Structure 1
Amino acid sequence: MKNLRQSTEILKTSLLLGLTSFGGPAAHIGYFREEYVKKKKWLDDKMYADIVALCQFLPGPASSQVGIAIGLMRGGLLGGILSWIGFTLPSVLLLMGFAWLISSSGSFDIGWIKGLKIVAVAVVAHALLGMGKSLTPDRTRITIAIAAAILTLLIPTAIGQIAIIAGAGLFGYGLYRKDDAPKPTAIHLSFGRKTGVAAWTIFFILLIGIPAIRAYFHNATIAIFDIFYRVGSIVFGGGHVVLPMLEREVVPAGWMDAETFIAGYGAAQAVPGPLFTLSGYLGQLMNGPAGAAVAVVAMFLPSFLLVIGTLPFWSAIRSKKGIQAALKGVNAGVVGILLAALYNPVFTSAILHPSDFAIALIAFGLLQYYKLSPWIVVLVTAILGALSHMVLG
């Protein structure tokens, strides 16, 4: 009965996030922190930042991986699966619907979407303040965060972001390695290192084996699985990076034309959840509902295997004194990267008019000072965005 309640709670919480988490990866980190750290108290800020930092190093959709990791910690393998289903299913179904209804336009720039872009500014700013208080409590770590933000803006690439996190870790190790290190909160998992090794093994077998099988069997299902599994395994930097990789796989091969592909990308930015659910739209066009199911599973399966494979070892590694010192720098670097994301792409893509900034201030005030639930703030901001669009155009 306890396991059933726990599973239901994980699915319910992640489904709410999947229905309301607009604004891309940086905003998702904010939504997750508000729900899992502040409201549910399933973990504290430090462990949350550790998980975020770990997922930044892994290929695949970082925000989805954070959700999967929290689900695994909370409810084992089933918890990780339910967490992923809740967060991704709403946008997958919406994008499959867009694929059915796709027309010559492909434009989704309407008022309520404007509001959903704006609310991401408030969500990221709110998360930034909260994480900054606990992860950058001294001048040194504030300096690391600012330096990380500046470098992230100057080097806006996935490799650059990984290098910045690594550099912040080196600074943290150099500055804090002699400090007393309190024992970190343990990561309680229902599986161990053998399962982790098995997950890594399956990851590499599929990565190497599926292309070989595809070469001998000309089958649409195998081809779709190969495309999306391979891209999900090697892409760093989130959804915007996956766009050109998928385009090179599906457009030249004749699965669809470039205009149809770009229309799907526009739709993916108009729905909540991760941009990787674009796979649902593409799979639907490639081979109907079965193609969508295969594409979505293949796209996210590498993330599952990598998180399952890494967490059992991460729990032991992060308890080392030197690693804790490095994580002080890494966590400050994560705050800096979030600060940079607040400006670009969140602020620059959403705030185009003084009225947009006014709406963002209202949303921030509702979150920060009125303590309203994020889904209520999303609804209010969508309405305000629609009204602004009607009045100002």
Structure 2
Amino acid sequence: MAVRKVRYYLYLKDVILLSVTAFGGPQAFLAMILDLMVRKRAYITESELWELNALCQVLPGPTSTQTISAIGYRIGGPALAYLSLLVWILPATILMIAAAFLIDFLQESTPGALSFAKFIQPMAIGFIIYAAQKTIFKMVKTAEATVLMMLAAFISFFYHSPYVFPILLFVGGLVTSLNYKNHPREKGDKKLRISWSNFYLWAGILVFAALLGALTKNQSVLLFENFYRNGSLIFGGGQVLVPYLYTEFVEFKRFLSSQEFLTGYAISQGMPGPTFSISSYVGALSMREYGVVGLLTGGFIAAAGIFLPGTFLIFFVIKFWDQLKKYRPVRAALEGINAVSCGMLIAAAYLLFEPLDANLFNVLAIFGTYLLLNFTRLSSPVIIIIGVLAGIGYNLIF
């Protein structure tokens, strides 16, 4: 028993280490997991890691967070999984809430305080374009998927309601699931043995939060429901979360300005840990009217709302994934869901550019960022620092 306790402690210590050093997105995160948790610690085998990561990628929610939680679940069950979830998200959550405090304070105390972000706001769009390119080449491989991607981009651009997104995802998955015969059969027992407890937990909280919010109109409850719903629908990682948050909190509810949102997104690219931590920044600023308590409450509520659904779902599916993935319609539906997610990402780049002035400085900042990401080895934090320094220098000179 003592050995098991030490192992749990070591695992949580490794998760803390990852949470403050995992810069560079999902690829760098996976490389660090492979080195630390597979080769050095041998918590799981390499094949188990790839299987868990693949499962997390086909579920809604933050892939890196689900992977960490799933490894914890394999080692020590639900208790360790929830502890590892908390340890993984806490540093990034605190940093992004601190960023919200800073942005709010600067704007309250100094007119034009966001001038230091002159370049990092358009640079955020460069990050999205780069992410879109990587995601599209990975996920869109057929003519049908390409058409779905372009239709999703077109609809997402012209119809900004957050309720359009889940409909698009459902339709995209349904369209490609009809072509399931193109996928090879897999041998083996297909009989599903399902434990529904975590599904009921996920769905129960979703329905309860929606009903409670509708009845009470309490902003904290409504905020939790908003993020919980988004966390239940996001396929494709943190970059796909951007159009959801921008549409709902900037265009639909106007809790943040476009300038504030872009600044926060750029800052989040320089933070370690999960990319979904941008939610804490958005949640904090959404409740700034309630002062310091509101900023803190909004940030932590947003974190809970965005991260919990994916955790519940991975715990639900992990027990019967081996049987589920043998069904060809399930595998076929993922193609359409991924294509629609890519379309939303394309629309996000256009929507985020709209409020900016179409001047030479912004265009150069966008494409300069894209070129640095694509053709150099500079890390995201370094690129963000360059952008901040360039903004400060520009203001001093002009």
Query: Closer, same or farther in 2 for the Cα pair 1:151/1:40, shift >3 Å?
Result: farther
Match of 1:85 in 2: 90
Aligned to 1:372: 378
Q: 1:71 to 1:114 in 2, by over 3 A?
A: farther
Distance 2:166 2:129 in 1: 22
Structure 2 letter corresponding to 1:332: A
- Contact between 2:97 and 2:296, CA under 8 Å: does it hold in 1? no
For structure 1, the residue ranges without an aligned partner over 5 or more in a row are 21-30, 56-64, 184-191, 216-222, 248-260
Contact 2:156 2:165 in 1 (8 A): yes
CA deviation after TM superposition for structure 1 residue 389, in Å: 4.8
Q: What is the rounded CA distance, in whole Å, between the counterparts of 2:135 and 2:229 in structure 1?
A: 29
Larger displacement relative to structure 2 (120-129 or 292-301) = 292-301
Matched, 1:50 2:58: yes
TM-score, normalised relative to structure 1: 0.68
Q: Distance in 2 between matches of 1:106 and 1:124?
A: 28
Q: Does the 8 A contact of 1:145 with 1:332 survive in 2?
A: yes
Give the superposition deviation at 1:337.
1.3
Residue matched to 2:124:
120
Q: Distance in 1 between matches of 2:395 and 2:106?
A: 24
Residue in 2 that maps onto 1:36:
29
Match in the other structure for 2:172: 168
Two-structure CA RMSD over aligned residues (Å): 4.0
Q: Deviations over 1:269-308 (max 9, x none)?
A: 534342553544566763754x554443334433344223
Name which of structure 1's ranges 355-364 and 270-279 shifts more when overlaid on structure 2: 270-279
Query: Which of 142, 157, 174 in structure 2 is aligned with 1:138?
Result: 142
The answer to whether 1:331 aligns with 2:335 is no
CA spacing shift, 1:356–1:163, aligned 2, 3 Å: same
- 1:147 correspondence with 2:133: no
1:343 aligns with 2:346: no
When residues 314 and 340 of structure 1 are mapped into structure 2, their CA distance, relative to the original with a 3 A threshold, is farther
1:225-374 superposed matches below 5 A: 225-226=220-221, 228-230=223-225, 232-233=227-228, 237-238=244-245, 240-242=247-249, 270-271=263-264, 272-273=267-268, 274-280=278-284, 286=290, 288-289=292-293, 292-315=295-318, 316=320, 319=325, 320-345=327-352, 347-350=353-356, 352-374=358-380
Using a 3 Å threshold, how does the CA distance of structure 1 residues 167 and 2 change in structure 2: closer, same or farther?
Answer: same
What is the aligned partner in structure 2 of residue 250 from structure 1? none
- Give the whole-Å Cα distance in 2 for the aligned partners of 1:244 and 1:349: 11
Task: Specify the code of the residue in structure 2 equivalent to 1:356.
Answer: N
1:118 and 1:93 map into 2 onto residues whose CA distance is 22
Deviations 1:113-161 (A, max 9, x none): 1222122222222222222222112333222222221222122221222
Aligned amino acid, residue 69 of structure 2 = L
The superposition leaves residues 163-185 of structure 1 with CA deviations (integer Å, 9 ceiling, x where unpaired) of: 222221122112344321679xx
- Once the two structures are TM-superposed, the CA of residue 73 in structure 1 deviates from its matched residue by 2.9
State whether residues 200 and 305 of structure 1, in contact with CA within 8 Å, keep that contact through their aligned partners in structure 2: no
What is the match of residue 73 of structure 1?
Answer: 70
- Tell whether the 8 Å contact from 2:172 to 2:340 is kept in structure 1 after alignment: yes
Closer, same or farther: CA 335–39 of 1 in aligned 2, 3 Å? farther
Deviations 1:308-330 (A, max 9, x none): 33223444466132111010111
Q: 1:358 is matched by which residue type in structure 2? A: L
Structure 1 residues 139 and 117: CA distance shift in structure 2, 3 A: same
- Does structure 1 retain, via aligned residues, the 8 Å contact 2:100–2:281? yes
Please identify, of 202-211 and 88-97, the stretch whose mean Cα deviation from structure 2 is larger: 202-211
Alpha carbons of structure 1 residues 246 and 131: separation in structure 2 relative to 1, 3 Å: closer
1:383 and 1:36 map into 2 onto residues whose CA distance is 27
Q: Say if 1:149 and 1:336, in contact at 8 Å, map to a contact too.
A: yes
Q: Partners of 1:208 and 1:102 in 2: how far apart?
A: 35
Q: Which ranges in structure 2 are unaligned for 5 or more consecutive residues? A: 1-5, 35-48, 73-80, 188-194, 234-243, 269-277
- The CA deviation string for residues 89-116 of structure 1, in whole angstroms up to 9 with x for no partner, is 11212334566677376653303x1222
TM-score by length of 2: 0.67
- Give aligned pairs, total: 336
The CA distance in 2 between the partners of 1:356 and 1:43, in whole Å, is 39
After superposition, the Cα gap between the structure-2 partners of 1:307 and 1:364, relative to the gap in structure 1 and judged at 3 Å, is same
CA distance in 2, matches of 1:6, 1:143: 44
Task: Determine the structure 2 residue equivalent to 1:59.
Answer: none
Shift in Å, 1:386: 3.6
- Report matched runs for 1:167-246 at 5 Å: 167-180=171-184, 194-198=197-201, 200-201=203-204, 225-226=220-221, 228-230=223-225, 232-233=227-228, 237-238=244-245, 240-242=247-249
Distance change >3 Å, CA 156–CA 181, structure 1 → 2:
farther
d(CA) in 1 for partners of 2:361, 2:253: 36
Q: Is the 8 A contact 2:121 2:262 kept in 1?
A: no
Match of 1:110, SS state, is helix
* Paired residue type of 1:301: A
Q: Provide closer, same or farther for how the CA distance between residues 3 and 87 of structure 1 changes in structure 2, counting only shifts above 3 A.
A: same
Percent sequence identity is: 11
